[in-house]
Amino acid sequence: MRRRSFCLFAVAVLAAFPLHAQTSEAVQVSPPPIRRADPPSATASAKELETIGDELRSEKAFLDALDYYNAALVKDPKNAPICNKAGIAELQMRRYRESRKFFEHAIKLDPQFADAYNNLGVVQYEEKKYSKAIKLYDKALQLQPAIASYYGNLGAAYYSEKKWNESAAAYGQALQLDPNIFERTSRTGVAAQLPSPEERAHFDYLLAKLFAKRGDSDRSLHYLQRAMEDGYKEINDVYKDPEFEALRSDARFTQLMAARPPAIPE
């Protein structure tokens, strides 16, 4: 009896103080999103509910935001902008089927709603239905032809279909409307979604060409360096592509090409 009690005690001690502590490298599945805000007020107006939904969405409390948007839609069921915002909240949670329904309903309520067409295109893009995404981006641009993000999305879809000329033209339009668009999106947007280092390198080189064509040497050199770091194999094209003609006389270009930054491994 004493021996059994000692064994049980020893097991308890070993469990509490393992002989060899190990660092866990197990993958932790993220818990599902939770609601953090109070339920929507039954006496609040649709506008008040929408405003609170916007604040919650900016705080990435997407489920809570969705509760408020849905409550607003109960009070104002034909409000296409609120329907579009609900779709965005669903999209940000990667609930593509639900987001598609909201965007389609927003378009049904307002067939001239350019943002809803663009956002529905994003759903198709995320589902790798690039041809459908292109048609929706084109429709958005027909309704609002001066939106840089629409052109950026269109360029991404063409790029994913390996339609380089069309992609370059769309990206060129995006840059003309917003010269800083890729500073905000290239690493978190399309470049982050490209499946291989070779395609990311090609994307960087494409941006370098676009900035060189615009005479923006600083950004062109920046993306050339990234293309080399990403392992772009056709980097010597920089000596014959006409877009780089002016850049080739820049001393920084000579230094960059002489240094040849090593490719950064994945």
Burial level of 195, CB count in 10 A (0-12/13-18/19+)? exposed
pLDDT at 188: 36
Give the tens place of pLDDT for each residue, 63-74: 999 999 999 999
pLDDT at 79: 98
Record the tokens describing residue 149, joined without a space: 């993000």
pLDDT at 19: 43
Chain length of the chain: 266
With a cut of 80, say whether residue 235 has pLDDT above it: yes
Domain regions of the chain by residue span: 41-111
With a cut of 90, say whether residue 84 has pLDDT above it: yes
Domain spanning 41-111 has what CATH number?
A: 1.25.40.10
Give the tens place of pLDDT for each residue, 106-119: 999 999 999 999 99
